[in-house]
Amino acid sequence: MSAVFEQIFQVGFLAAIIRIATPLAFATLGEMFSERAGVLNLGIEGIMLLCAMAGFTAASLSGSLWLGVLVAVLTGALMGALHALFTVALGLSQHVCGIGVTLFSSGLAYFLYRLIFGQQSVPPSIDGFKPVPIPLLSDIPVLGPAVFNQFTLVYLAIVAVPLAAFVLYRTPWGLSVRMVGENPRAADSAGVSVIATRFQAVILGGALMGLAGAFLTMAQFNAFTFGVVSGRGWVAIALVVFGRWDPWRSAGAALLFAFVDALQLRMQASGLGHIPYEAFLMLPFIFTIVAMAFMSRNAVAPSALLKPFRREER
């Protein structure tokens, strides 16, 4: 085991944590905005997959990675709007609609990918994003190369966390989001449009999920496979609870999960005995479930989460 611990503070290990945490941070922030406005989005797993596919396809066909990112973000926003249409405008069950959005988006991703790329033995890949070292900062020992020699999308995630906190806690729109998530009746009396605010929050959340998907296929793996998301969306939902619906804590939760995930990857690589690597893949998920058991008792969800708002009901 000591060999495993020796590797922890290596540059490569830290860099791996940052890379694993990036899509989770985007996804977790996206889910957080949605839930703070009172809308659980279980569509996240499928939305990430569809965005991963859409971004990859756009980048692959156009040759422009940033166009791919844009397409992924727009796709995410569109799917967010779809989820909001069902859950906010029509007031349908957030649980079941979310599963429906995930099944629909995943199915559409599989279908379109097969239609566009056909069946190939080796999945087509793209020349993905390259790390961009930040002058001076990347020269800091250990931390520099791990954190400041990364993809632009990683820097975007690092900036997104304080930005999300600022938007949520320091802007009028953020106040509206928190109001419609805690007490929509009061928000309505104060002249805040509950429906519009929830729509905006779920759409913004979808766009962030799109960034998460784009990172997977355009920076991390540079290819699309049907298992490219493999539960990261579900994990993000758990991380929101773990992070108590706060941007900073959520980002911290994403880093913690990424640490466990990077650790199990190292354990796979170090080839502990003859244990199949799948046994290690279970660990982050078990960790998340156990962590939720510890955190959920004290976790206070937004009061109006899961509750549709209808003005005429008193």
Partner 1 sequence: MFRLEARTSTPAWFNLALPLLAIAATLVLCSGLIAIAGAGVVDAYGVMLSASLGDSYAITETLVRAAPMIFTGLAVAIAFRAKFWNIGAEGQLLAGAVASCFVGAIPMPGYLAMLLMALAGAAAGALVALVPATLRVKFKVDDVVSSLLLNSVIYYALMALIEGPWKDSFSGYPISPPIEDSANFPVLMEGTRLHLGVIVALIAAPLCWFLIARTTLGFRIRVTGENPEAARYGGINVQRVLLSTALLSGALAGLAGVGEVGGVHFQVMSDISPGYGYSGIVVAMLARLNPLGVVPAAIFLAAVMTGAEAMSRATGVPAFLSDVIQGTALLAMLVALLFTAYRIRRVGAPA
CA dihedral 61, 63, 66, 72 (to 10 degrees): 20
Q: Smallest Cα–Cα separation from 94: which of 40, 50, 37? A: 40
| E strands, 47-195, in order | 132-133, 149-150
The residue from 13, 155, 173, 285 that contacts partner 1 (CB under 8 A) is 285
Min. distance of Cβ 2 from partner 1 in angstroms? Answer: 25
Residue 174: partners with Cβ closer than 8 Å, 6 or more residues away:
166, 167, 168
Part of the chain binding partner 1 (CB under 8 A), chosen from 21-29, 101-109, 128-136, 190-198: 101-109
Q: What are φ and ψ of residue 7, in 5° steps? A: -80, -15
Residue 41 binds partner 1, judged by CB under 8 A:
no
Q: Which is nearer to partner 1, 159 or 279 (by Cβ)?
A: 279
Residue 309 binds partner 1, judged by CB under 8 A:
no
Q: Which is nearer to partner 1, 128 or 181 (by Cβ)?
A: 181
Sketch the per residue contact string, 56 through 95, with partner 1: x for CB under 8 A, - otherwise. Answer: ------------------------------x---x-xx-x
Residue 234 binds partner 1, judged by CB under 8 A:
yes
- DSSP helix/strand/coil, 137: helix
Q: Which is nearer to partner 1, 96 or 159 (by Cβ)?
A: 96
The residue from 12, 61, 63, 111 that contacts partner 1 (CB under 8 A) is 111
The residue from 14, 16, 84, 97 that contacts partner 1 (CB under 8 A) is 97
Residue 288 binds partner 1, judged by CB under 8 A:
yes
**C-beta separation of 52 from 217 below 8 A:** yes
Q: Which is nearer to partner 1, 26 or 86 (by Cβ)?
A: 86
Q: Smallest Cα–Cα separation from 206: which of 66, 87, 33? A: 33
Tell me whether residue 66 is exposed, middle or buried, using C-beta atoms within 10 angstroms of its C-beta: 0 to 12, 13 to 18, 19 or more: middle
Residue 296 binds partner 1, judged by CB under 8 A:
yes
The residue from 238, 253, 256, 263 that contacts partner 1 (CB under 8 A) is 238
Residue 237 binds partner 1, judged by CB under 8 A:
yes
Q: Report how far residue 270's alpha carbon sits from residue 273's, in angstroms, rounded to the nearest whole number.
A: 9
Residue 274 binds partner 1, judged by CB under 8 A:
yes
Q: For residue 139, what is the DSSP state?
A: G
The residue from 114, 159, 166, 311 that contacts partner 1 (CB under 8 A) is 114
Beta bridge partners of 133: 149
**C-beta separation of 62 from 237 below 8 A:** no
Q: Report how far residue 128's alpha carbon sits from residue 40's, in angstroms, rounded to the nearest whole number.
A: 32
Part of the chain binding partner 1 (CB under 8 A), chosen from 3-11, 155-163, 200-208, 271-279: 271-279
| E strands, the chain, in order | 132-133, 149-150
Binding site for partner 1 (CB under 8 A): 42, 46, 86, 90, 92-93, 95-97, 99-108, 110-111, 114-115, 230-231, 234-235, 237-238, 241, 274-279, 281-282, 285-286, 288-289, 292-294, 296-297, 299
